[in-house]
Amino acid sequence: MSDKSKTMTVDQQVEYLMQGTEYGDEALREAMAQELRERLVEAKKEGRPLRVYCGFDPRTSDLHVGHTVPMRKLRQFQELGHEVTFLIGNYTSLIGDPSDKDLLRPQLTPEEVEHNARTYAEQAYKVLDRDSTLIRYNAEWLSKLHFADLIQLASNFTLQQFVSRENFRLRWEKGDPIYLHETFYAIMQGYDAYAMRSDVQVGGTDQLFNIITAARKLMTFMDVKPNIGVILGILPGTDGEVKMSKSLGNHIPLLSDPEDMYGKVMSVPDKAMGQYFRLITRWTPPEIQEIESGLAQGRLHPRDVKMKLAREIVSIYYSPDQAAQAEAEFVRVFQQGDLPEDMPEFQLKNDMTVLDVLVDSGLVESKSDGRRMLGQNAVRLDGAALKDPNQPFPGPGVLQVGKRRYLRVL
């Protein structure tokens, strides 16, 4: 076990590992916390680490910090000396997880999965310990199942259990098709947990059914101790309202430059900072409690706390020195009066894209000029780079094009 596990009591470890979890049911959360406590004690007596995993279906190779939420939890288990597996769902990706979608998900080809998996894992090492992370592919066991095996596994579930899930229910009510193969995903994920004899499975709230219902039921049916579900909240985007998503333009790409990443964190509303503390920083529960206590008592200013948060996030993906440089640039531009005192204003209208604002405000001469400036990373909103001409404009702020053109968007 690591030094951290030696300096933390079991209760402190449980608090740390349950940080940021959401179950939608306090009794279920308490039950999972108690099982985790018992499993930690049991593993310590046996002198073994817990077997912990999270499955990743590499449907994209372009990650943002919202994708790293389960990786941060895996890293916490690594810090406590446990065995972590980064499971690549190269077999389940052939189906596509319907858990967080109200539409049929397109199936990927094996070549697309393999390409995305390599890029996905490499970016994950910005959070995970490369040397102690196990990489496995679930085709290793799922591809060997026979039809009779699938029938036996499926006998543990009813159609009502699937159709009553919100995403399926909405499609049912709208008359949209629900394909039989979509129900296989939860069964296959449950079999993953059994095949690896996992103690803990990490996932988001969209995975609650797959982890708590499917995996635990199948493992019990297969006569092994069911895994514990560590179910994490969903990180909101920079708008502070909805799930971080590239399609919504409220994301913070992992491949952002330090200044862009710092600026995007600074644009996050104050109300969302607590979720960022718990889901994507390296801070422990006592450290977060101290920060939130300072905010509540007025000892800490929200702006200063957000700057501390931005430094932490940039430091994770780059370095403390680069985070300090990004902060200095942000302060120079946005806090030390380097912005023009008098700048034109533009009233944002509904459904305007980034390119619409650039053209309609006169900041660029044409759409092609706007696309060129975006492609050169020369367009920033409150210090955060804008790159996609077709994304919805993020919201009010100071829009900058190049070094000298500024606009206050209202």
**For 129-150, what is each residue's pLDDT tens digit?**
999 999 999 999 999 999 999 9
The domain spans of the chain are 3-232, 239-338, 340-410
The span from the CA of 248 to the CA of 32, in Å, is 33
pTM over 0.85: no
Kindly report the CATH number that applies to the domain delimited by 3-232.
3.40.50.620
Kindly report the CATH number that applies to the domain delimited by 239-338.
1.10.240.10
Q: What is the pLDDT of residues 144-191, one digit of tens each?
A: 999 999 999 999 998 888 877 777 888 888 888 888 878 888 899 999
pLDDT at 349 over 80: yes
Q: What is the pLDDT of residues 200-233, one digit of tens each?
A: 999 999 899 999 999 999 999 999 999 999 999 9
pLDDT given at position 2: 53
What residues does 384 pair with on adjacent strands? 381
Q: CATH classification of 340-410 is 3.10.290.10, yes or no?
A: yes
